[in-house]
Amino acid sequence: MSGGQMAIPDLSNAVMAQDEMGRPLIIVRDQGTKQRAHGIEAVKSHILAAKSVASIVRTSLGPRGMDKILISQDGDITVTNDGATILSQMQVENQIAKLLVELSRSQDEEIGDGTTGVVVLAGALLEQAYELIDRGIHPIRIANGYEDACQVAIKELDRIADEVPLDSDNANLLRAARTSLGSKVVSESKDLYAQIAVDAVLGVADRERKDVDFELIKVMGKTGGSLRDSVLVKGVIIDKEMSHPQMPRTVEDAKIAILTCPFEPPKPKTKHKLDITSVEEFKKLQEYEQETFRGMVQRIKDSGANFVVCQWGFDDEANHLLLQNKLPAIRWVGGPEIELLAMATQGRIVARFEDLNADKLGEAGSIRELEFGTTQDRMIVVENCANPRTVSILVRGSNDMIVEEAKRALHDSLCVVRNLVRDNRVVYGGGAAEIAASLAVSDEADQHAGIDQYAYRAFAKALDSIPLTLAENSGMNAIEALSDVKSKQVTSKMSQLGIDCLGSGSNDMKKLFVIDPLIGKRQQFLLATQLTRMILKINTVIVSGEPSEF
C-alpha cells in the first residue's frame, strides 16, 4: 500500500453466496485445501512407485515362484529367484522405490531369509493404503492404524508359535535346511547342502549364548565339477597355491608364520636415489640383498615355523631360499584370509620380521594343496586348526552362474539353521502364519469404532496377499484356495493350515514340516510396516542440487 491507496485482495479464488436473509457474501476459498490435495497426490504417486517394484518380485515368492534373468551392464547373466539379489541388481531411479530395495537388504542382513516376502507384504500394505486414501482417510491415520495392527499380528505369532526340539541327531535342523532349499537350483542335492549348512552352523555356534558368528564361516566357489562335489572343511581354504612348484604339497603339525611385512630388503624412505657406477658396487648391493634374505629366512627358522603365509609377494631369489631351507610358502594372500587364518590357527599377524617368535605362530594339524582334476586349479586347505570354531565351504558347479546361485541358496539355508539355533520357536509356512495373523487383526478391527477399523481391515487384507500370491504362483485358483484354508483355520482352530504349494494333498504345514523361524517372520511384519509408515508420511522429495519451486 502506497500513496494512500488500499491493496486490492486477490478474489480469483472467491465465490459469491447469500446468507439466510438474501444478503450477498464473498467467500474466499482456502488455499490450504489445494496444498493438502497436492500432498495427498504426492503420497499416492509414491505408493505407485513402490508398488511397481514389489510387483516385480511378487511372482518369485514361494517354492513354485518364477526365476528372473538379470543381465548386468557387462552382459553377465544371473538366473535367480532370490528377492534380495533381484532388487540389488535392478537400476531403480525413483527415490521412494529405492526404499523397497533397502527393505530387502535389511531383511537379508538381519535374518537372511524372507527377502521376497517382506517386499510383497510391503507392496500389499501400500496397495491397501492407496484405496483408503481414495476414500478420504488421511495417510497419518492409516500409518498409525497399521502400526497398532502390526502389534496385534505379532502377538498372534507369539501365541501360535511352536518350539522345535533340537535333538542330538539334529534331525529337525536338517529338515528345516532341506525345506529352505526346495525351491533353489541345488534342490537335487539338497540333502548334501542341508548337511553342510547344519554342520557349518553348529561348528561355529556358541550354544550358551545362542549366537552364531557368520564371520567364522567362509563360503567360496570354484567352477568345474558338479554341485555334489561341494565340501565342508573344518578349517580355512585359501585360493592360492605353493609359491614354488617343488615345495611339498602336504605339511603335518604345521607351525605357521603369518606375515604382513614384505619379503624384500628394506627401502630407504628418502627421495634420494643411488647411482651404481662400477661392478664392485653392484656386487656389494647384490650381496646385501642376499644377506637380508638369508637373515629373514633364518628368523623364520629360528621361530620354529615350518610354513609361511605372506600378504605380499616376494621375488624368485627369496622363493629359492625358502625352497632350499624347506620352508613351503604361499604369497599374495588377501587381508580377510589373513585375518581368518589368524583366528583359526590362533596365531598373531606379524608386521616386522624382528617381532617374529614362537609365541606368534599359528597351529594346524595339517596343510595340504588341493588340486582340481584336469583344470590344474589348486587351493590350500588348512585343517584341524587350534581354534575349531572356524569352517569353510567350497561350492562347486559347472559354471559361474550355477556356483553363484548355489552360494545364495546355501546362504539362505545357513540363515534358517542359524535362526533356529538362536531361537527354536517357529511358525508354519505356506501362508499359515499370515492367515492366522489376518484373522486376529480382523477380530481386533471389530472392537474398534470409527476410522481405525478401516486400517485394521486393510492390514488384514494385506496379510492375506501372501497366501494368495503363493496359490497364484503354484497355478491354483488363488481366491478359492485362500478362502478354503481360511475357513478351515476358523472352524478347526488349527493355525498350521496353509496353502499346499507342492501338491502333497495336505494343508497341514506342521505335518509337512514347512516352517519359518519366528524371529524371521516377526522381522518381516515389523520391517514391512515400518517402511509403509515411512512412505505414507512422505509428501515431498527434495533432491540436493536441483532447482525447486521455492
Q: Which residues are catalytic?
A: 82, 115-116, 412
Distances (CA, A) of 397 to 224, 393, 401: 6, 13, 8
The Cβ of residue 532 has, within 10 Å, a number of other Cβ atoms equal to: 29
Integer Cα distance of 368 and 383 in angstroms: 8
Which residues have a Cβ under 8 Å from the Cβ of 37 and sit 6 or more positions away? Answer: none
**Sign of the CA dihedral running 427, 432, 438, 439:** negative
- Angle in degrees, 0-180, between the axes of helices 400-422 and 518-536, rounded to the nearest 10: 100
Q: How many residues does the chain have?
A: 550
Burial 495-519 (b: 16+ CB within 10 A, else e): bbbbbbbbeeeebbbbebbbbbbbb
The Cβ of residue 69 has, within 10 Å, a number of other Cβ atoms equal to: 8
CA angle, 411 as apex, 405 and 415 as ends, to 5°?
150
Integer Cα distance of 247 and 326 in angstroms: 8
First to last CA, the chain: 25
Integer Cα distance of 341 and 285 in angstroms: 36
Integer Cα distance of 342 and 390 in angstroms: 11
Asked whether 222 and 394 are in contact (CB, 8 A), the reply is: yes
Q: Could you tell me how far CA 116 lies from the centroid of its own chain?
A: 11
The rounded radius of gyration (Å) of the Cα atoms in the chain is: 32
Integer Cα distance of 212 and 206 in angstroms: 6
Asked whether 310 and 329 are in contact (CB, 8 A), the reply is: yes
Which residues have a Cβ under 8 Å from the Cβ of 475 and sit 6 or more positions away? Answer: 64
- Angle in degrees, 0-180, between the axes of helices 279-303 and 316-324, rounded to the nearest 10: 50
Of the candidates 116, 17, 240, 89, the one whose C-alpha atom is nearest the C-alpha of residue 524 is 116
Integer Cα distance of 475 and 404 in angstroms: 28
